[in-house]
Structure 1
Amino acid sequence: MTFKPLFYSLFLACAFYGTAQQQQKKETLFTIDTTPYYTDEFVRVYQKNLDLVKDESQKDLDQYLDLYLGYKLKVAKAKKLDLHTKPNYINELNTYRGQLAKNYLTDSKVTNELITEGYERMKKEIRASHILILVNENAAPADTLSAYTKIVGLQKRAIAGEDFGTLAQQYSEDPSAKDNKGDLGYFSAFRMVYPFETAAYTTPVGTISKPVRTRFGYHILNIHDVRDNRGEVSVAHIMLLHSDKDDPQENATIEQKIQDIYKKLQQGESFETLAQQFSQDQSSSVRGGALARFGSGQLSSEVFENTAFSLTPESPLSKPIKTQFGWHIVKLLEKHEMKSFDALKGEIESKISRDDRSRIIAESMNEKLRKKYPVKRQEKVYQATRKAITDAVYTQSWDLPTDLTPYKGTLVSFDKKQLTGEDFLNYIATYQKQSEPIKPLSKWIDYHYDNFIEIQLNHYYDANLENEFPEFSAVMDEYRDGLLLFDLMETEIWQRAKTDTVGLTSFYENNLKNYQWKNRYDVLIATTTNEAVAQKAHGLLKKKATAATLKEKLNTAETVSIMVAEGVFEEGNESLPKTVTLSKGLQPVLKEGAYYYIVLVNEVLPAGPKALDETKGRVINDYQNYLESNWLSELKKEFTIQVNQDVFTAVKKQIKN
């Protein structure tokens, strides 16, 4: 998002949703050429900006109308110059609209519920085992039933008392189950696919879950434990790898070496130095052994993880521990408690957008849109269109029919939108490469027809946000005009004021009285709270000491006794003591409040005009205002303006009441 248009804060400062607006009678307040501008927008903008305007004259409705007219004149000029057709303008406006529309294109109620649920689940960590029977999401009904029957059978055996780990080892189609007996260790929210996570958080400890379907297949879970979230931890480690050949003698040597390193640490040697010297984890040794922070279930070694979380600031170093990778010594760097809801809200929402929960939000929104815009389908056209789609879609080799005439009739309609069979066939041609291998073909077509309708409903709703939400339309109108106005001012006023050196110089010379120096003083000012230091500084300056000498003689590495500033200061500058007599030469030590001032006036510069280079920024700003004022007068001549005074009188009365 760009913030360029926000320079015109009088009109563009606005809350995202805005405040509740009273229904205003819409009448033409004024016209610029033949374009009408209405009372409702004028009243809304005036009321919205009333508290933002500090200049009381701008709260006067007559003054405000003049400002508002000027604003709209500039926008009219920008459109006359076709600035609204420029690619950069269109792209920037579309980018902003896309960002603004996001909050309208999802079901915020469902999203907020999922954020709250996610945070509550993150407070706990679950330890569970599972058994998986693989089956594709789009598998044939017979294959789905077969997988379901298997998992139900295993569930019954586990509930009847058979050892869950043994069943997992024998029957689970998760390859890791052969080694870990299905044990997943501890995990929290967003670590597993959403249906699996939901089963884990809703099944009581010590029980077997009902079969749960995920995109991998059917699972049953055995819930072993629930504990509070341990947060995250930052640690460093020194690691020695096990012998590649699993040589007992070599492993014994490695164990002795890790014990020797541990003794060095106990003797006070640097952990970071020893990690750099001996650790065989090349990715962390260069950083003194430091690892990225992690939470429960994020490492492949539960032993290492539990050791890391057991360390405390009082006892930050572990004894050597053995994992499947080798030997480690772990040092605690920092523990990170779980963040608050407000701190995690954005992160949780981002995670939701990337996992299965996003489907729930999309499905909820699609359901709302189907209710809002009932879809009417012409069965005859639909059946004819279906027949044009062949099995070639499975190999992404299907082509559109050569003659599309039979498919140009209306396939579906909703609200004011009509879509043809040709529209659907074009969708199929585009999306066949991204499809799931759903069979039979009739099911594949139905699946894509539903997707086609959902996409079209969402596009239609997005395109009509301005009609659906007055506050969205108002914000877009203001941003659209503000962006145009910025581009116009950039080309017509600001660049001209910077590059028109002749005009700038002439303006400066004609307004020289506005660019005057007061009396100025080239001074050295020393300040201290210590009178003795002040007297020493005064004595040193009498001997022509420099600022560097003062600091060298009176300050130490531990104590700053005096501060020194040098420069040219204008009369009234806050850096100058208020009661000092500023004449050339070294002034007597002066005390104001708690501070002693020692002032050496090198030169007195009398009041007089500023050179253009000394005040160029201010002159450019004044010149821009001058150009804009004259330009606005020209615009009032260029366009025909008609103000409906009777309507304006009624508006003033309405606002005052």
Structure 2
Amino acid sequence: MRYYNLFLGVIMLAFTTKAIGQKQIKDFPLFTINEKSVGVNEFVFLYNKNHQNQSEEITKENIEEYLELYINFKLKVMEAESRKMDASDAFIKELNTYKEELRKPFIAETDILYKLVKEAYDRLGWEIKASHILVSSPPDAAPSDTLVAYNKALSIREKVLAGEQFDKLARELSEDPSAKSNGGLLGYFSALQMVYPFEEAAFQLNVGDVSQPVRTRFGYHLIKVEDKRPSSGEVEVSHILVRGSDEQAKNRISEVYEKLIKGSDWNEMCAMYSQDPGTKDNGGRLRPFASGALASAPKFEEVAFAMDEQGSISEPFQTSFGWHIIRFEKKIALPAFSELEESLKRRVARDERMSISKTLLIEKRKKKLNYKEDPSRLDRIKAMTDSALISGKWSLAEGLEKENRLFSLNGKFYSVGDFSDFILRNQSPTNISPGNYINQLYELFVEETLAATEDEKLQNENPEYRSLVKEYREGILLFSIMEKEVWNKASEDSIGQRRYYDLNTGKYEAGMRLEARIFATANRDLLKAMKSRIISGDTLKAEDMKQFKSVTP
């Protein structure tokens, strides 16, 4: 290694130049390891990044100290490179994952996500009451089976349009098991409560309309919109639950109701009588919910949304869970978009909308990178693909030329051989058909190639992004070699650990300890009363302890 310590003055100049807003100085080697140079600008960039929240003055001593650390860091990274740790599949996969996130601020793709988030928010302002008829068809069904299901859904729709009752046909023909009892009625729902294709179709329909067959992962749906209304927002309630449907359960809930009417404390009654273990000790408080959120208990929603006076309680009523009494807490209107935007982004990211966003993004990348495809070559691969692929034993069939071009990006061609190598790296046994699986693998191959091409282009054109990628790459390498040579070895050296402990036992002695008992209860009045008794020196008895949820010695 050669170290140019004569240039510390120029490093100081680089910091000064940055501080007063002038252009970056011309780069030059700061030190060299194994004929590989590290420049001043790279060092300055990382120093500033790691000290951006510190107000200390930049001095020669500070720079020399950081430079020594930085040289040690680079030595470890280059040792990892010499061992080809950056060529492992695990390393490449981890770095590509980081790159995908790092690219986002540098490319204009946020418009797609924003539109989907805004669409979800606008729909949250409405509630739709709909019924459906389902003809089941799994996502990986053969095209012939899919066509049969689609035609069956079409024939049912013709019956509806001819005047037959939708709920009657749902009970007779729908493959949704619940339709036999509810006639296909789903009740009210809003955005982000149904699978996205179902929601999209429902929000496009007028009241009374019946959709064309709508494909989801469950099959084909016919959707009839029964009603559409502005959102009721969310409601927050507490409840007392007595499980069971017999006369004894009804009498018990009636007894609780009478006590509440006569002034008994809600929290005490809840703790004593409610059989909902998740809420009985916090006054029966439930998380706020919107219409359609409790599809398995529509009566509960109906009662809760009919209430509007804070602290009021409902009469006992029954659901499939048992008997309830509700106490109304508050109604919550739909917050402003700015308040919900971040949480909606997270929900959309977990929703089926994300696949729509991903599809649009891929098409946008194809256009930007001048994607051109030869479909006939892919059709030939498909025609020669057999069950060996879904057994994880695929190999390139005879007659398929590796050199044949499948597609190009910015004039660079990708061949049948490139796709074959991708399949060999990624194939695994699966239950889906060979045709569907080869399609999935090809889409993944194109997606991966698009991302790599875009990444290469961005690194060539954007120094800031290039620096970030380098920083993450070297960070992963540092972690890998430290894990292998230091941390794992230390954990495996039990004799060395014992020797260190014996020499430093004083560091592991426990300090001052406190002997105490912890009393837990949802009843604040009980807690205050017991606290007064303890302070006054009164001895608590076994029956006193039974009033608490728990007592930790």
Contact 2:311 2:327 in 1 (8 A): no
Matches within 5 A, 1:408-447: 413-415=408-410, 419=414, 421-433=416-428, 437-438=432-433, 441=434, 444-447=437-440
Q: Which residue of 2 aligns with 1:265?
A: 260
Report SS of the residue matched to 2:237.
strand
Matches within 5 A, 1:562-577: none
Q: Which residue of 2 aligns with 1:322?
A: 318
Cα deviation for residue 181 of structure 1 reads 0.6
Among 178, 181, 189, the alignment partner of 2:180 is: 178
Q: Which moved more, 1:201-210 or 1:107-116?
A: 201-210
Cα deviation for residue 398 of structure 1 reads 2.0
Q: Which residue of 2 aligns with 1:5?
A: none
Report SS of the residue matched to 1:235.
strand
Q: Which residue of 2 aligns with 1:531?
A: none
Among 339, 348, 354, the alignment partner of 1:352 is: 348
Matched, 1:450 2:443: yes
Q: Which residue of 1 aligns with 2:513?
A: none
Cα deviation for residue 42 of structure 1 reads 12
**Separation in 1, partners of 2:474, 2:392:** 47
**Separation in 1, partners of 2:236, 2:381:** 60
Q: Which residue of 2 aligns with 1:165?
A: 167
Q: Which moved more, 1:475-484 or 1:270-279?
A: 475-484
**Separation in 2, partners of 1:223, 1:229:** 16
Matched, 1:109 2:103: no
Contact 1:321 1:327 in 2 (8 A): yes
Change (3 A) 1:138 1:384: closer
Q: Name the TM-score, length of structure 1 as normaliser.
A: 0.57
**Separation in 1, partners of 2:429, 2:442:** 14
Change (3 A) 1:118 1:404: same
Q: Which residue of 2 aligns with 1:473?
A: 466
Q: Which residue of 2 aligns with 1:128?
A: 130
Q: Deviations over 1:415-449 (max 9, x none)?
A: 486655454234334544375624xx556534532
Change (3 A) 1:344 1:379: closer
Matched, 1:462 2:460: no
**Separation in 1, partners of 2:287, 2:376:** 61
**Separation in 2, partners of 1:233, 1:477:** 50
Q: Which has the larger radius of gyration?
A: 1
Work out the number of aligned pairs and report it: 448
**Separation in 1, partners of 2:211, 2:374:** 45
**Separation in 2, partners of 1:391, 1:257:** 62
Structure 2 unaligned regions, length at least 5:
1-11, 16-20, 479-553
Contact 1:381 1:407 in 2 (8 A): no
Larger relative contact order (CA 8 Å, sep ≥ 6) = 1
Q: Which residue of 2 aligns with 1:307?
A: 303
Cα deviation for residue 212 of structure 1 reads 1.8
Q: Which moved more, 1:97-106 or 1:175-184?
A: 97-106
Q: Which residue of 1 aligns with 2:146?
A: 144
Matched, 1:294 2:289: yes
Q: Deviations over 1:177-220 (max 9, x none)?
A: 00111110111111111111011111112322233222222212
Q: Which amino acid aligns with 2:301?
A: E
Give percent identity, aligned residues only.
34
**Separation in 2, partners of 1:344, 1:384:** 49
Q: Which residue of 2 aligns with 1:77?
A: 71
Matched, 1:338 2:330: no
Matches within 5 A, 1:596-611: none
Aligned-residue CA RMSD in angstroms?
4.7
Cα deviation for residue 317 of structure 1 reads 0.7
Change (3 A) 1:29 1:388: same
**Separation in 2, partners of 1:435, 1:316:** 56
Change (3 A) 1:289 1:156: same
Q: Deviations over 1:510-537 (max 9, x none)?
A: xxxxxxxxxxxxxxxxxxxxxxxxxxxx
Q: Which residue of 1 aligns with 2:494?
A: none
**Separation in 2, partners of 1:133, 1:102:** 40
Q: Name the TM-score, length of structure 2 as normaliser.
A: 0.66
Q: Deviations over 1:307-338 (max 9, x none)?
A: 12223344521111122333211112343332
Q: Which amino acid aligns with 1:133?
A: V
Change (3 A) 1:380 1:71: farther
**Separation in 2, partners of 1:480, 1:447:** 29
**Separation in 1, partners of 2:431, 2:103:** 30
Among 22, 29, 32, the alignment partner of 2:30 is: 32
Report SS of the residue matched to 2:222.
strand
**Separation in 1, partners of 2:474, 2:394:** 45
Q: Which amino acid aligns with 1:231?
A: G
Report SS of the residue matched to 1:292.
coil
Q: Which amino acid aligns with 2:256?
A: I
Cα deviation for residue 480 of structure 1 reads 8.4
Report SS of the residue matched to 2:228.
strand
Q: Which amino acid aligns with 2:204?
A: T
Change (3 A) 1:327 1:27: closer
Cα deviation for residue 268 of structure 1 reads 0.9
Cα deviation for residue 86 of structure 1 reads 5.9
Structure 1 unaligned regions, length at least 5:
1-9, 14-20, 244-249, 486-657
